[in-house]
């Protein structure tokens, strides 16, 4: 029987081949895709996130781990879609205008997708109008915005204001994240939630949907 | 008439200019707009920034070409303007600099990860940097400043590209963050590793800019000085920006910089200026202090 810890370690080490193989083996052992995802892949990525924040590892290691996670998820995704009746919810994601940094946003998208959510990824440098029209058209539950720079982060408020003006604010719950973003800033601009890393973003989305 | 940039550095501290991007924002550039394109569409404003720095006492002007690689301009939507934007950027700076002030051609990161972490091939990166270097050279730059770099591979490729495509001296400047393991870039490169690699590539001036206020830059200069006797450049931010009442505010004012500029020189910096958030007032305050 493959131990979850081994899968998590393969993600932490960023060994894509090992992560894929172990996931495969765990499925053959009869473990459920959900368990493998949560106790293996996400648990591993959690450690990566904590180590990155503590400056123990740097961007290259995070990218390598993300790649391993993606490789393992490719194995798991078909099974996850089979087992669920419909997506748990729909999440729109993007980095705010002027911000081209998408490592964090991509991680959040990958984790949420793995956890059974449908993702609409608007990409980088997304204008408030583009966010608003996605909210209008996609019928999503959550809008997630990301920014790496303090100078672009203020664009989050513009997006929320744009939603309000278009009478769209009540259509979605807004979550924010990225290096300079804080819980305080989240509250200041009237967002519904903040998560410090991609694993907590999954918990946050689940909690927000449960509370609705 | 000015002497060669490197000859000038042998004579002692050179006061460079301050921020370009945040100055343009204060003159109407909106967040997310391509700053480099203003060389073509709003050159009067770019000249205004240069002129203010000359009046403040700057001895060199940096071109408005930080995002001028083809890859970066593609992200903004103007790849076909690559040559024009860089050439004009250098020309505009030269127009204000005249014969006595140095024009420093700015080369920033491409905004994409190189293989194996990303999908940018090394050969494409080299092509990008060569193209930009040639245009800046043709437009009249005296020296090229590769700056705000965090990936050692990327800056090494850039230094080589400049050396291969121009005869201009090169300033190689990286951005470090202070963490548990001391100063490292977000890609994990520490100061001694950066210094050794850049010297090996024949960079003429090493340095650090952005990411920190002046206190951290003093520490970085001390550390760099431990590993090299090359001229060093220090361009700190006006502190780390914070949000106050919905506005981005930089916390270290001109007086704060003036009070620490001698320490920055003692720490080993030869070229001194400012990055994000600094203004002509910062440069003027440092000029007064340095001339005491």
Q: Give every residue of chain B whose pLDDT is below 50, as ranges.
A: none
Note whether A153 and A52 are same-domain residues: no
Q: What is the pLDDT of residues B25-44, one digit of tens each?
A: 999 998 778 999 999 999 99
pLDDT for position A83: 62
Note whether A75 and A105 are same-domain residues: no
Task: Mark B55-87 as b/e (b = at least 16 C-beta within 10 Å).
Answer: ebbbbbbbbbbbbbbbbbbbbbebeebbbebbb
Size of interface A-B (CB pairs under 8 A): 62
Note whether A12 and A33 are same-domain residues: yes
Whole-number Å distance between alpha carbons of A118 and A203 = 15
pLDDT for position B253: 98
Whole-number Å distance between alpha carbons of B273 and B283 = 7
Note whether A96 and A54 are same-domain residues: no
| Domain end call among A83, A118, A146 | A83
CB nearest B243 (choices: A64, A98, A150): A150
Asked if residues A191 and A175 have their Cβ atoms less than 8 Å apart, the reply is: yes
CATH number of the domain that A105 lies in? 3.40.50.280
Note whether A53 and A112 are same-domain residues: no
pLDDT for position A85: 56
CA within 13 Å, CB half, B272: 31
Pick the closest to residue B113 from B81, B144, B77, B149 (CA basis): B149
| Domain end call among A29, A51, A83 | A83
Task: Calculate how close chain B gets to A210, using CA atoms only, in Å.
Answer: 31
Note whether A111 and A13 are same-domain residues: no
Flag if A60 and B179 touch (Cβ within 8 Å). no
Measure Cα distances from A176 to A94, A102, B157, B249, B286 in Å: 10, 13, 35, 21, 39
Note whether A181 and A204 are same-domain residues: yes
Note whether A133 and A46 are same-domain residues: no
Range of the domain at A95: 90-211
CB nearest B75 (choices: A100, A127, A185): A100
Note whether A10 and A62 are same-domain residues: yes
Q: Give every residue of chain A whose pLDDT is below 50, as ranges.
A: none
Whole-number Å distance between alpha carbons of A54 and A159 = 31
Instruction: Return residues 240-279 of B near A (CB < 8 Å).
Output: 240-243, 246-248, 276
Flag if A60 and B117 touch (Cβ within 8 Å). yes
Domains and their CATH numbers in chain B: 5-290 (3.20.20.330)
Prediction ipTM score: 0.85
Stretch (H or E) spanning B143 = strand B143-149
Helix (H, G, I), strand (E, B) or coil at B155: helix
Interface probe for A, chosen from B31, B154, B244 (most Cβ of A below 10 Å), is B31
pLDDT for position B118: 84
Domain count along chain A: 2
Q: What is the pLDDT of residues A98-117, one digit of tens each?
A: 888 888 999 999 889 888 89
Task: Calculate how close chain B gets to A67, using CA atoms only, in Å.
Answer: 9
Question: Is any Cβ of chain B less than 8 angstroms from the Cβ of A20?
Answer: no
Note whether A59 and A94 are same-domain residues: no
pLDDT for position A198: 86
Measure Cα distances from B171 to A44, B64, B144, B156, B199 in Å: 40, 16, 6, 12, 11
Q: Where does B118-183 have alpha helices with state H?
A: 122-139, 152-165
Flag if B117 and A155 touch (Cβ within 8 Å). no
Flag if B187 and A63 touch (Cβ within 8 Å). no
Note whether A138 and A41 are same-domain residues: no
Q: Which residue of B has its CA nearest to A52?
A: B186
Q: Which residue of A has its CA nearest to B211?
A: A149
Whole-number Å distance between alpha carbons of B185 and B206 = 15
pLDDT for position A84: 56
Residues facing A173 on adjacent strands: A142
Q: What is the pLDDT of residues B223-233, one digit of tens each?
A: 999 999 999 99
Asked if residues B89 and B145 have their Cβ atoms less than 8 Å apart, the reply is: no
Whole-number Å distance between alpha carbons of B288 and B203 = 30
Strands B247-249 and B242-244: antiparallel
CATH number of the domain that A36 lies in? 1.10.1240.10
Question: Is any Cβ of chain B less than 8 angstroms from the Cβ of A98?
Answer: yes
Asked if residues B256 and B30 have their Cβ atoms less than 8 Å apart, the reply is: no
Note whether A94 and A76 are same-domain residues: no
Whole-number Å distance between alpha carbons of B284 and A194 = 41
| Domain end call among A83, A99, A133 | A83
What length does chain B have?
292
CB nearest A59 (choices: B180, B186, B241): B186
Task: Calculate how close chain B gets to A97, using CA atoms only, in Å.
Answer: 5
pLDDT for position B21: 93
Pick the closest to residue B263 from B211, B220, B231 (CA basis): B220
pLDDT for position B135: 98
Spatial CB neighbours of A188, under 8 Å, sequence gap ≥ 6: B243
pTM (global) more than 0.95: no
Residues facing A146 on adjacent strands: A95, A177
Interface probe for B, chosen from A56, A59, A189 (most Cβ of B below 10 Å), is A59
What length does chain A have?
212
Measure Cα distances from B274 to A162, B217, B221 in Å: 35, 11, 14
């Amino acid at each position: 029987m493959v131990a979850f810890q081994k899968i998590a370690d393969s993600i932490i080490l960023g060994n894509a081949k090992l992560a894929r193989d172990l996931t495969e083996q765990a499925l053959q052992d009869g473990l459920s895709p959900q368990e493998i995802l949560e106790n293996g892949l996400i648990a591993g990525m959690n450690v990566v996130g904590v180590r990155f924040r503590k400056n123990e590892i740097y961007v290259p290691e995070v990218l390598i781990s993300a790649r391993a996670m993606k490789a393992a998820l490719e194995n798991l995704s078909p099974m996850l879609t089979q087992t669920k009746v419909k997506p748990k919810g729909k999440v729109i994601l993007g980095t705010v205008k002027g911000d081209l940094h998408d490592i964090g946003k991509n991680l959040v998208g990958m984790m949420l997708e793995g956890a059974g959510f449908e993702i609409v990824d608007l990409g980088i440098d997304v204008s408030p109008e583009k966010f608003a029209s996605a909210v209008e058209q996609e019928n999503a539950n959550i809008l997630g915005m990301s920014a790496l720079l303090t100078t672009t982060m203020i664009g989050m408020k513009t997006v929320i204001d744009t939603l309000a003006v278009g009478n769209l604010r009540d259509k979605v719950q807004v979550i924010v994240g990225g290096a300079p973003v804080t819980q305080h800033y989240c509250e200041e601009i009237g967002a519904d939630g903040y998560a410090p890393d991609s694993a907590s973003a999954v918990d946050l989305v689940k909690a927000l949907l449960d509370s609705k | 008439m000015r002497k060669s940039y490197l000859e000038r550095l042998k004579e002692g501290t050179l006061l460079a200019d301050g921020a370009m991007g945040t100055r343009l924002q204060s003159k109407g550039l909106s967040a997310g707009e391509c700053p480099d394109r203003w060389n073509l569409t709003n050159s009067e404003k770019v000249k205004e920034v240069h002129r203010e720095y000359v009046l403040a006492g700057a001895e060199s002007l940096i071109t408005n070409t930080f995002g001028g690689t083809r890859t970066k301009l593609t992200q903004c939507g103007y790849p076909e303007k690559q040559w024009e934007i860089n050439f004009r950027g250098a020309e505009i700076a030269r127009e204000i600099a005249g014969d006595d002030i140095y024009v420093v051609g700015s080369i920033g990161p491409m905004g994409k990860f190189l293989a194996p972490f990303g999908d940018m091939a090394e050969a494409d990166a080299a092509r990008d940097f060569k193209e930009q270097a040639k245009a800046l050279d043709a437009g009249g730059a005296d020296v090229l400043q590769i700056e705000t770099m965090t990936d050692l591979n990327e800056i090494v490729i850039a230094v080589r590209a400049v050396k291969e495509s121009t005869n201009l001296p090169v300033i190689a400047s990286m951005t470090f963050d202070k963490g548990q393991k001391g100063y490292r870039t977000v890609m994990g490169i520490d100061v001694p590793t950066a210094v050794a690699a850049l010297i090996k590539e024949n960079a003429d001036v090493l340095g650090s800019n952005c990411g920190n206020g002046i206190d951290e830059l003093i520490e970085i200069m001390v550390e760099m000085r431990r590993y090299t006797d090359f001229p060093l450049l220090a361009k700190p931010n006006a502190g780390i920006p914070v949000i106050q009442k919905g506005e981005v505010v930089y916390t270290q004012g001109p007086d704060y910089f003036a009070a620490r500029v001698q320490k920055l020189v003692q720490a080993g910096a030869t070229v001194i200026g400012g990055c994000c958030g600094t203004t002509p007032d910062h440069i003027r305050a440092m000029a007064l202090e340095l001339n005491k």
